[in-house]
């Protein structure tokens, strides 16, 4: 098991849909173990495989639901269902969202309060993760978006999209300047 570098916004792996996992291999098992190590080192709530440069449809999570109950697990080939997303700008106090691939930034992001993903585990058994509120509901939507090639920044309303663009420009994160972030050292390096 190892901590892997996390890809930063602009890396092509974050902007392309991932591929369905057709066969579970030893490499798949190692990937999931490494993703949990990376998630823990980065102090995150969830991590998608493409955030560590692997274009497979897998994510891991470790966060609380709306009742404050902790949930930790992974889903292979998740399919998302969700409730309606409230219209308009989200409440900055309740809807702030961040991302390990956009370190140091967080912006109000509208999400459904209820979400469920279905997929499989390493043995091919069905996995169902459902949350009504809390970080887990947001995480299920966020990580599935990653696997579809979207970042939470793509979901921002125009009000917050301008703030996000300015923050990314100030950090120098552009498509021609791509870095990976090492959660163990908290440093970014050019690739």
What three-state secondary structure class fits 28? helix
Identify the H or E element spanning 143.
Answer: helix 134-147
Q: Are 46 and 39 in contact (CB under 8 A)?
A: yes
Identify the H or E element spanning 26.
Answer: helix 26-42
Q: Are 5 and 180 in contact (CB under 8 A)?
A: yes
The CA distances from residue 121 to 24, 48, 58, in Å, are 9, 15, 10
Known active-site residue 143: yes
Residue 99 annotated as lining a ligand binding site: yes
Q: Are 42 and 25 in contact (CB under 8 A)?
A: no
Q: Which residue in the list 105, 130, 143, 186 is annotated as catalytic?
A: 143
Residue 142 annotated as lining a ligand binding site: yes
Report CA torsion sign: 105, 106, 110, 114: positive
Dist CA 3 CA 182 (whole Å): 8
Binding site listing for Fe cation: 99, 142, 146
Residues tagged in the binding site annotation: 99, 142, 146
Catalytic positions are 143
């Amino acid at each position: 098991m190892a901590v892997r570098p996390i890809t930063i916004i602009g890396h092509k792996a974050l902007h392309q849909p991932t591929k369905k996992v057709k066969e579970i291999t030893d490499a798949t098992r190692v990937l999931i173990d490494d993703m949990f190590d990376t998630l823990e080192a980065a102090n995150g709530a969830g991590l998608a495989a493409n955030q560590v440069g692997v274009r497979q449809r897998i994510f891991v999570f470790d966060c609380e639901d709306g009742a404050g109950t902790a949930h930790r697990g992974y889903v292979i080939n998740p399919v998302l269902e969700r409730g309606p997303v409230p219209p308009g700008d989200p409440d900055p106090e309740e809807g702030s969202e961040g991302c390990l691939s956009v370190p140091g930034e967080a912006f109000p992001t509208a999400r459904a309060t209820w979400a469920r993903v279905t997929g499989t585990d390493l043995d091919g058994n069905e996995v169902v993760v459902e949350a009504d509120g809390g970080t887990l509901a947001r995480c299920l939507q966020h990580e599935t978006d990653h696997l579809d090639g979207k970042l939470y920044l793509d979901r921002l309303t125009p009000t917050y999209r301008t703030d996000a663009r300015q923050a990314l420009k100030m950090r120098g994160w552009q498509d021609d300047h791509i870095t990976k972030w090492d959660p163990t050292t908290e440093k970014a390096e050019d690739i």
